[in-house]
Amino acid sequence: MDLGQEINEALNFIEAFRFRVFGFEAVVNETVIISWLSMAILIVLSLIFTRRLKTVPRGAQAVLEALIGFLNSFSKEHFGKRAKTYGPYIGTVFLFLIVANIIPVLSPISVSLFGHTYHPPFVIKPPARDINFTAALAILSILLVLIGGLRARGFGGWCKNLFHPVPMMLPFNLMEYIIRPTSLCLRLFGNILGGFIIMRLIEAVVPIALPPLLSLYFDFLDGLIQALVFAFLTTLFVAEAVEA
């Protein structure tokens, strides 16, 4: 395949299977499968790390407690007494995106030997390259913003806040419920898709030695940064909505 065909194949979404629910046909593609795999990894790791907990943490338990402590302090700083309500969602989204974004590191790469290119039997692609995946996460985040605002202010207080600071801001405050999830969705989608395409180009042009090194940035570091940005922006939006 030429370079253009390589990129087109990388951008296609492979269908895994389909089934019918209440007369509607549902298609499950590789994005859903990799998302399930990411969730399974988190569940297995949580079961492993929470077994045989000790009073004095060591090794993996110490790392886990440090991470949980950071997430708890981060939530308390932004949500105050509401940290137990909204903190678990922020922490879960953050950990899920970390795993989902860096999971391509586990994917084998093409190898060229004696003039022949051997393609891997499977390729793990980041689910965030699918805009449906990022849109679903953004919708969940903005629903949390909406519900949190209604719970904190009541319906009357929430409606009154739409006119803050002056009544003429009403259309702009309403537009925020469209602009914010759109920005969350497109920022995550664009960065992950861009890094994924760059990695595919590098693998096609220089398939030896260079891809594993650059994968540490485009798959690992960039994936970590995008997970942090998404979780941080969601935290700011929710904290602003629930502020009394």
Quote the mean pLDDT of the chain.
84
Lowest mean pLDDT among 50-54, 99-103, 158-162, 220-224: 50-54
β-pair partners for 27: 18
Q: How confident is the model at residue 218 (pLDDT cuts 50, 70, 90)?
A: confident
pLDDT at 120: 58
Which helix (H) or strand (E) element contains residue 15? strand 15-21
Q: How confident is the model at residue 52 (pLDDT cuts 50, 70, 90)?
A: confident
* Average pLDDT of span 240-244: 81
Q: Which domain holds residue 111?
A: 3-242
Task: Say yes or no to pLDDT of 39 above 60.
Answer: yes
pLDDT in tens, 159-204: 888 888 888 888 998 898 899 999 999 999 999 988 888 887 877 7
* Average pLDDT of span 234-238: 93
| Cα–Cα distance, 93 to 84 (Å, whole number) | 15
Q: How confident is the model at residue 121 (pLDDT cuts 50, 70, 90)?
A: low
Asked if 110 and 120 touch (Cβ cutoff 8 Å), the reply is yes
Residue that wins the pLDDT comparison between 21 and 96: 96
Which helix (H) or strand (E) element contains residue 28? strand 24-29
Among positive and negative, which fits the CA dihedral 223, 229, 231, 232? positive
Q: Tell me which long-range contacts 136-143 makes (C-beta under 8 A, separation of at least 24).
A: 137/93, 137/97, 137/184, 137/185, 137/188, 137/230, 138/181, 138/182, 138/184, 138/185, 138/188, 139/181, 140/93, 141/93, 141/181, 141/184, 141/234, 141/237, 141/238, 142/177, 142/180, 142/181, 142/184, 142/237
| Cα–Cα distance, 24 to 99 (Å, whole number) | 31
β-pair partners for 112: 117
User: Percentage of the chain surpassing pLDDT 70?
Assistant: 89
The tally of domains found in the chain comes to 1
